[in-house]
Structure 1
């Protein structure tokens, strides 16, 4: 009697799953190569991190197919995720180190906090919207990010509770950069902020040189919705 040859049946579900995974990875690759590299994001550690931290896991289910598109994905409470190229460029310019503590103002879905946490010792991310704070907390836990903490509150003028910080990342627009936020930086610390008003804001990296001096670098131009309760320039009356 000849050997019995096992019969394998075609499994559409397995094939479909494999195809989805392949499509997601292709979309991620396209995002990195077609959107992010052309935006002068050339730090290989940052590019690698975009493959490690799964952006699609931080996107609301209704928009998951748009996770890698050059698009500000809607979030609850009328907020939006930053476009992938903006997130990556800010991450590169901040150059967070493993021993540093980070404050993020505007938690959103928790994705930027997850990216920062992979490079930092600890991240505290703050959001004024309780629904977003809970979303960020759940996403960070579900993706195994253990060194990021979420707080609910108004960070438009900074967050003094754990100050000073090595790095501050403001993930929302600021018509005017409040002095209080600057004062929450350690000497040598860096701050990323989108400063100005519509139609164009400046993405700035501000480094604290010493107790009284700050160095400002304009990195690129964009537009980001202002934080709730953001400080505005005084209006002069004549």
Structure 2
């Protein structure tokens, strides 16, 4: 039988700590949440490999290093409301629920959203709810949010998402241009986003966040 607890500890010790992730809340959450419960059952043995876990329709569960580094940069506090865009089966929401006051986990696939809510409930995560809808629309009825992050990359960031960041709040976005990707943290000050570089990373572009292509004959 696979010892997932040992694999989880090894993931933190060999992938996350060496990636300059230092905040105790992030490390504690990554040690505590059973990643294998939040991936398709056929892929459980790959849950702790240091790479994205592929889902259907080009989506992924982010590489644990990428997620941990984003969370280290965001520094979520226990009185904050978080929007998790593209939660998949809910792993990222479960991790952040250990840091935040509450998490709204947005998922566009209805069946996946149901599975995510079920797994979150089974894992005793009572401060995260799954909201079903297009990822690019966000979940305005529950916002605005202290923190927003996206479980995938972006070519173009919809205004609807930026509008849901609270004044003084922040958003983590993996911007891609071709093969290159950069995570930036945006801070909303006086209604405008101020961006700073965080680190390099790559991931598939989330549906609805592609750059509009010019029509060509």
Q: TM-score, normalising length from structure 2?
A: 0.91
Indicate the structure whose relative CO is greater, using CA pairs within 8 Å and at least 6 residues apart.
2
For 1:205, which of 178, 181, 185 is the aligned residue? 185
Specify the alignment match of 2:209 in structure 1.
Answer: 230
Correspondence list, 1:66-215, <5 A:
66-211=46-191, 213-215=192-194
Please tell me the root mean square deviation across aligned C-alpha atoms, in Å.
1.9
* Larger Rg over CA atoms: 1
Answer whether contact 1:205 1:218 (CA < 8 A) is retained: yes
Answer whether contact 1:157 1:230 (CA < 8 A) is retained: no
Answer whether contact 1:176 1:232 (CA < 8 A) is retained: yes
How far the C-alpha of 1:233 sits from its partner, in A, is 5.0
Specify the alignment match of 1:9 in structure 2.
Answer: none
SS of the residue corresponding to residue 27 of structure 2 reads helix
Answer whether contact 1:59 1:109 (CA < 8 A) is retained: yes
Check if 1:57 corresponds to 2:57. Answer: no
Aligned length: 216
Answer whether contact 2:36 2:47 (CA < 8 A) is retained: yes
Name structure 2 gaps, 5 residues minimum: none
Specify the alignment match of 1:6 in structure 2.
Answer: none
Specify the alignment match of 1:38 in structure 2.
Answer: 18
Q: TM-score, normalising length from structure 1?
A: 0.84
Q: Going by fraction, where is strand more abundant, 1 or 2?
A: 2
Check if 1:29 corresponds to 2:13. Answer: no
Specify the alignment match of 2:197 in structure 1.
Answer: 218
Answer whether contact 2:148 2:165 (CA < 8 A) is retained: yes
Decide which moves more: 111-120 or 51-60. Answer: 51-60
2: CA distance between counterparts of 1:167 and 1:45? 16
Which deviations, in whole Å up to 9, do the C-alpha atoms of 1:59-84 show, x marking residues without a partner? 22211112111121122444221001
Moved over 6 A (4+): none
2: CA distance between counterparts of 1:52 and 1:27? 12
How far the C-alpha of 1:166 sits from its partner, in A, is 0.8
1: CA distance between counterparts of 2:74 and 2:92? 12
2: CA distance between counterparts of 1:126 and 1:62? 24
